[in-house]
């Protein structure tokens, strides 16, 4: 009888206008806690793929991510993976779990939403309509300031904001790609529950997407809802330790082992 450690990789997916570097040190911290690989991908149109064109639907974006997953991480092909995703990334992850149920071991959706379950003024809170429009039109410095205002509820961290602005200068997201991603997210509908375990996580101080959207998703997908009282939309930044604790506890991550005969 052999004692083995589960090394199922974790894939993190970001949302609108964000790239993998916006996870900051979260992947390294989560990997250390779980003692397993924690990996990231950029959406086409963002990060190192900013010169590519974003698709205009969640299924097409998901296909782009799946192709990238196979090309970038060939060593994990044929294995299952855990998907942990925020905002529009959660929509992509849910679509992935439905498209490839044999591949996805669990799904964690952070501050995400769905058309048909929540009205548009919950999916994008009305107080931010002007800021969202301005962020699409603005240059990288002002855009990142606006995104910080809408997504982070904790105190300003000037050094982190400067990083965001530098990344936006290095890998700018074009206006057309920003609009294409917005269009894709606006039409996404969560209608079917995937076969894998699903967990919904929400920051109750989210000023961009109403926390009621997570309630609606949890009801639709028959999934537990885990909430943080003061975190905003960027929950991994606002409540890093709390989020790692929740993923560890509720997904049976970490130093788990199983007996194999």
Residues 211-238 have pLDDT tens digits of 999 999 999 999 999 999 999 999 999 9
What confidence score (pLDDT) does residue 171 get? 96
Please count the structural domains in the chain.
1
CA neighbor of 93 nearest in space, from 76, 75, 112: 112
Question: Can you tell me the distance from the alpha carbon of 186 to that of 202, in angstroms, rounded to the nearest whole number?
Answer: 19
CA neighbor of 214 nearest in space, from 133, 137, 117: 117
What confidence score (pLDDT) does residue 132 get? 85
Expressed as residue numbers, the domain containing 206 is 2-260
Domain at 139, CATH number: 3.40.50.1820
Would you give the DSSP letter of residue 138? S
Residues 28-70 have pLDDT tens digits of 999 999 989 999 999 999 999 999 999 999 999 999 999 999 9
Predicted model pTM:
0.93
Question: What sign does the CA torsion over 160, 114, 85, 259 have?
Answer: positive
Place of tokens 């909430």: 227
Strand residue runs (E) in the chain: 2-5, 10-13, 38-40, 81-86, 104-110, 198-203, 225-228, 257-260
What confidence score (pLDDT) does residue 136 get? 79
Question: Can you tell me the distance from the alpha carbon of 196 to that of 36, in angstroms, rounded to the nearest whole number?
Answer: 20
6 versus 102: the higher-pLDDT residue is 102
The phi, psi pair for 258, rounded to 5°, reads -145, 160
């Amino acid at each position: 009888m052999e004692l083995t450690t589960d090394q199922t990789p974790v894939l993190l997916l970001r949302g609108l206008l964000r790239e993998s570097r916006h996870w900051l040190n979260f992947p390294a911290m989560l990997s250390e806690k779980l003692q397993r690989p924690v990996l990231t991908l950029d959406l086409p149109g963002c990060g190192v793929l900013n010169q590519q064109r974003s698709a205009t639907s969640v299924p097409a974006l998901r296909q782009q991510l799946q192709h990238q997953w196979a090309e970038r991480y060939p060593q994990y092909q044929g294995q299952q993976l855990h998907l942990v995703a925020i905002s529009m990334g959660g929509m992509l992850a849910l679509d992935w779990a439905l498209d490839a149920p044999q591949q996805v071991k669990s799904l964690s959706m952070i501050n995400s939403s769905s058309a048909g379950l929540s009205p548009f003024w919950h999916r994008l809170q009305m107080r931010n309509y002007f800021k969202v429009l301005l962020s699409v039109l603005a240059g990288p410095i002002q855009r990142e300031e606006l995104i910080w205002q809408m997504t982070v509820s904790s105190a300003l961290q000037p050094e982190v904001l400067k990083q965001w602005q530098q990344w936006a200068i290095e890998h700018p997201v074009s206006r057309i790609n920003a609009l294409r991603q917005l269009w894709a997210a606006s039409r996404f509908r969560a209608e079917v529950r995937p076969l894998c375990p699903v967990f919904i996580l929400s920051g109750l101080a989210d000023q961009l997407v109403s926390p009621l959207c997570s309630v609606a998703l949890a009801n639709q997908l028959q999934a537990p809802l885990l909430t943080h009282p003061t975190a905003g939309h960027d929950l991994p930044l606002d409540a890093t330790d709390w989020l790692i604790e929740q993923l560890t506890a509720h997904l049976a991550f970490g130093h788990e082992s199983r007996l194999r005969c």
